[in-house]
Amino acid sequence: MPPRTAVFFHAHPDDEALLTAGTMAMLAAEGHRVVLVVATAGERGLADMEPGEELGRTRLEELYESAALLGCARVECLGYGDSGLSPVGGVADERPDNAFIDADTEEAAGMLAAILREERADLLSIYDPAGGYGHPDHVQVHRVGRRAAELAGTEIVLEATVNRDPLVKLLRMAGKVYRFPPEFDVRTFESAYSSSETITHRVNVRKYTRQKRAAMSAHASQASGGDSDRTLAVMLKVPGPLYRLVFGTEWFVRRGLPPGTRLRHPLDPSPK
Ligand SMILES: [Zn+2]
């Protein structure tokens, strides 16, 4: 396969580590150019540090470290404000003026499209329409990403997701022998992400789970202390063998393929 360029668009630093790190590391190892773009610096993420500019700077530094571990050739931040999450979930009332959720879709898509054109990207990775577990910034990544691919004429658009069916089953089984932290609620996975039959790409990334775990660890501000529901902190507590099972596959939906399509490589069917 000739070298291609893949752009991974994420909402916040650490999303790349959780959702697409294995695929990014695999593509880079195969000689493709991998570019990481985040919409925000994640300055309102849950951390020991107060939300704000300093946290944003720390999180971007963590992002560069994670990107280097995964073999990314370029990292960009669109510079929008982290919209944050309301304590009960959903859109927070108080948010910065330039919150990503309030961004003009055309304007944001234009910025991303400029990168896609400059890179002559063959592939853009975004999120499913529900934004995975529903963070408003993640829903916005879907909207902005779709439009950017249209503007730039990017051939392959993949929606990074999680196959919730085996995950829920596995987590239920694991819950019998392994005590999850109390804030970890398996039920939140039952309506999130995508069901098995809608998934077109199952990428085996077991060879890259070490890199993926290292990328997660690079986001130290998101994985330490506190009592809030932190996906990353919870994920890093998952023991090694279970980690490879849970994180050894990454899932994507490519729209417009015939029903029942099951592919293994993100660049299949290959771009023209
Ligand atoms: Zn996020």
Q: DSSP assignment of 45-93, as one string?
A: S--SSPSSHHHHHHHHHHHHHHHHHHT-SEEEEEEEBP----TTSS--S
The rounded Å distance from CA 216 to ligand 1 centre is 13
- For position 71, what pLDDT does the model report? 98
**3-state SS, residue 180:** coil
Cα(230)–Cα(233) distance, integer angstroms? 5
pLDDT band at 224 (very low <50, low <70, confident <90, very high): low
Closest CA to 250 of 11, 71, 20, 34: 20
In the predicted model, is pLDDT for residue 263 greater than 90?
Answer: yes
Q: CB-based contacts of 257: which residues, under 8 Å, 6+ apart?
A: 200, 263, 269
Average pLDDT of 216-220? 90
pLDDT band at 227 (very low <50, low <70, confident <90, very high): very low
What residues pair up with 121 in beta bridges, in sequence order? none
The encoded tokens of residue 15 equal 């999303």
pTM listed for this prediction: 0.90
Answer for the pair 37, 64: CB distance below 8 angstroms, yes or no. Answer: no
The rounded Å distance from CA 236 to ligand 1 centre is 16
- For position 186, what pLDDT does the model report? 73
**In terms of DSSP bridges, do strands 5-10 and 123-127 run parallel, antiparallel, or are they unpaired?**
parallel
The rounded Å distance from CA 42 to ligand 1 centre is 8
Q: CB-based contacts of 265: which residues, under 8 Å, 6+ apart?
A: 201, 203
The rounded Å distance from CA 133 to ligand 1 centre is 10
The rounded Å distance from CA 12 to ligand 1 centre is 4
Give the long-range contacts of residues 47-50, CB within 8 A, separation 24 or more.
Answer: 47/221, 47/222, 47/224, 47/226, 48/221, 48/224, 48/225, 48/226, 49/221
The rounded Å distance from CA 87 to ligand 1 centre is 15
The rounded Å distance from CA 268 to ligand 1 centre is 27
DSSP secondary-structure letter at 247? H
The rounded Å distance from CA 138 to ligand 1 centre is 6
- For position 234, what pLDDT does the model report? 67
- For position 61, what pLDDT does the model report? 96
The rounded Å distance from CA 211 to ligand 1 centre is 20
The rounded Å distance from CA 272 to ligand 1 centre is 32
Average pLDDT of 43-49? 78
